[in-house]
Amino acid sequence: MAELDGAHIAILGLGASGRAAARLALHEGAQVYVSDQSAQPTASARAADDLRAEGADVAWGGHDLSRVARADLVVVSPGIPPRAPVLQELRRRGVPWISEPELAVRFFTGPLIAITGTNGKTTTTLMTAHLLDEAGFTAAAGGNVGGGLAPTASELALLEPAPEWYVLELSSFQLGAVETLDPDIGVLLNLAPDHLDHYEGSVEAYYADKARLFDHATDDSDWVLPAGDEAVEGLVEDVPGRRHRFGVAGEGSALTGDDAGELRALLDGDSLTLDGARLLEGEELPLLGRHNRLNALAAALTARLAGATPDALARGLRTARPLPHRLAPVRERAGVLWVNDSKATNVAATWSALESLDRPVILLAGGKDKGEDFGRLLQALDGVRTVLAYGAAGTRLAGALEESGTTVRLMGDDFAAVVRAAEATAHTGDLVLLSPACSSFDMFEDYEDRGRRFEALVRELPA
């Protein structure tokens, strides 16, 4: 546990994580300076006033770099990109910084499960906590979850009484600035190119930040890993510790080993199994898609390592519920199922969704272009009848897919028109899928705003 009493703490960024870090530091007796580059936004004005009332010094419109450099500890919000001028200047001055979860875990008083990966983090994080709760443990989930679904890591650090298990979702941005983070159970779900705009096109830099999860690995570490993911295998090749695998039976050579003490969770046909014993059938899991069955296996394997019994795991999986904007059914109308997967903000997430479905698909894709290779979707279009490409990335997306044999229509940036076109195109038995493969910031505030707009338009369709 850290000691902050009387220390000078500088926090850059007044978003949710910055505010939470400030409250934790104040609670621990620190003198806190919080600064934000933007002019004071109305939405955060009250939060800033609350922090001032608690004793923090809050500044808008820029960072006092001299004051930041003199601080005993600097905490940087994940929304500040690595090449931001303030961080470049701190590097030039030799001033280190940490992320908000790194600050928080120094005050955790129980064992930690840390979960990362390109896709599936939130589903797996919340499902792991749900399974532990079902097994009789007190588990607190949070971190990079967002969307109001769970608190920040710093809020978890302030919980009284402390939970028996902390379950923390971590983004690459957060992992890129850790120092002491040493999970009792670490989970890496998958790896695929993402956030290339943030990492200036470098997949290697993105993967290197994910690899910080393993910085303090020992022979006693427990890692939950996917079978057959070549990028993950390359990352963990020399990492010590016990490696517990999840995946599809018959796929991935890593599942054939029988190392003592290492667990295997498999999708065997349509059965979810753990070390050869059936937990439940896939149709009993209330979440759509094969990728969610793999997320469920990862969560079950993690909870088993934490002490949950197989019976409790089966009960918990049967009572799991889909999360908003993550392959969530919206409405069945005239034999057509409408599904909101707005959280699919990268190509890998959309590819995974398409591979998981067994109905003909009308795909709504597009948004802000993050620079990914849309051609990677070609292998997942076998079940797609039509792609409606929209938004800022629409032209490039349509160009990448036009030779696929699938009908591709360029729709512009009228989202209501996109939904109407999907309605006109879909036949009985089809599934209309919003799975954009892009971020939302060209037309919406965020992926949640996009998903809510989609659901509202779908519900407005006549019965």
Contact 183, 113 (CB under 8 A): yes
Among residues 128, 108, 124, the alpha carbon closest in space to that of 116 is found at: 124
Helix (H) or strand (E) holding 222: strand 222-226
Q: Look up the pTM and report it.
A: 0.80
What are the CA-CA distances from residue 262 to residues 85, 218, 312 (Å)? 46, 15, 20
Contact 102, 171 (CB under 8 A): no
Q: For residue 178, what pLDDT is reported?
A: 96
Tokens 């039976």, residue?
249
Which of helix, strand or coil describes residue 431?
strand
Q: What single-letter DSSP state applies at residue 3?
A: -
Helix 42-54 × helix 16-27 angle, to 10°:
10
Q: For residue 239, what pLDDT is reported?
A: 96
| Residue 368: half-sphere exposure toward Cβ, Cα within 13 Å | 16
For the chain, give the percent of residues with pLDDT over 70. Answer: 95
Q: For residue 43, what pLDDT is reported?
A: 59
Q: For residue 290, what pLDDT is reported?
A: 86
Q: For residue 257, what pLDDT is reported?
A: 47
Tokens of 387: 């792609």
CA–CA distance, 284 with 229 (Å, rounded to integer): 26
Paired with 246 in beta bridges are: 226, 265
Q: For residue 258, what pLDDT is reported?
A: 47
Contact 413, 442 (CB under 8 A): yes
CA–CA distance, 156 with 170 (Å, rounded to integer): 14
Among residues 461, 433, 451, 454, the alpha carbon closest in space to that of 338 is found at: 433
Q: For residue 455, what pLDDT is reported?
A: 96
Spans of the chain below 70 pLDDT: 1-2, 41-44, 146-148, 195-196, 200, 252-261
DSSP 151-208: --HHHHHT-SSPPSEEEEE--HHHHTT-SS---SEEEE-------TTTTTT-HHHHHH
Tokens of 319: 């009572």
**Residue 257, C-beta contacts closer than 8 angstroms, at least 6 positions apart:** none
Q: For residue 329, what pLDDT is reported?
A: 87
Q: Which domains does the chain have, with CATH numbers?
A: 8-96 (3.40.50.720), 102-318 (3.40.1190.10), 328-460 (3.90.190.20)
Helix (H) or strand (E) holding 57: strand 57-59
Tokens of 356: 């998981």
Q: For residue 196, what pLDDT is reported?
A: 66
Which of helix, strand or coil describes residue 100?
helix
Residue type, 369: D
